[in-house]
Copies of this chain bind each other. A is one copy, B any other.
Amino acid sequence: MIDRLVAKIQKTRAPIVVGLDPMLSYIPEHIQKKSFREYGETLAGAADAIWQFNKKIVDAICDLIPAVKPQIAMYEQFGIEGLKAFQKTVDYCHEKDLIVIGDIKRGDIGSTSAAYATGHLGKVQVGSKEYSAFDEDFVTVNPYLGTDGVKPFIDVCKEEKKGLFILVKTSNPSSGEFQDRVIDGRPLYEWVGEKVAEWGQDHMGENYSHIGAVVGATYPEMGKVLRNVMPKSFILVPGYGAQGGKGEDLVHFFNRDGLGAIVNSSRGIIAAYRQEEYTKFGEENFEDASRAAVVDMIEDINGALLRVK
1/0 per residue, CB under 8 A from B, across A159-185: the answer is: 000000001001111111111011110
For residue A287, CB closer than 8 A to chain B, the reply is no
For residue A7, CB closer than 8 A to chain B, the reply is no
User: In the complex, are the beta carbons of A124 and B176 less than 8 A apart?
Assistant: no
Question: Which residue of chain B lies nearest to A122 when distances are taken between CB atoms in the complex?
Answer: B77
CB contacts (< 8 Å) of A115 on chain B: these are: 23, 71, 73-74, 76-77
Copy number in the complex reads: 2
For residue A83, CB closer than 8 A to chain B, the reply is yes
1/0 per residue, CB under 8 A from B, across A73-86: the answer is: 11011111011100
Instruction: Identify which of B134, B145, B174, B183 contacts A175 (C-beta below 8 A).
Output: B145
For residue A28, CB closer than 8 A to chain B, the reply is no
CB contacts (< 8 Å) of A73 on chain B: these are: 106, 108, 112-113, 115-116, 119
CB distance from A65 to the nearest CB of B (A): 21
User: In the complex, are the beta carbons of B146 and A172 less than 8 A apart?
Assistant: yes
For residue A118, CB closer than 8 A to chain B, the reply is yes
- Greatest chain B CB density within 10 A among A71, A76, A182 is at A76
For residue A32, CB closer than 8 A to chain B, the reply is yes
1/0 per residue, CB under 8 A from B, across A116-139: the answer is: 101110001111110101100000
For residue A200, CB closer than 8 A to chain B, the reply is no
User: In the complex, are the beta carbons of A110 and B172 less than 8 A apart?
Assistant: yes
CB contacts (< 8 Å) of A268 on chain B: these are: none
For residue A288, CB closer than 8 A to chain B, the reply is no
**Chain A: residues with CB nearer than 8 A to chain B?**
21, 23-24, 32, 36, 41-43, 45-46, 71, 73-74, 76-80, 82-84, 87, 105-113, 115-116, 118-120, 124-129, 131, 133-134, 142-149, 167, 170-179, 181-184, 188, 191-192, 195, 238
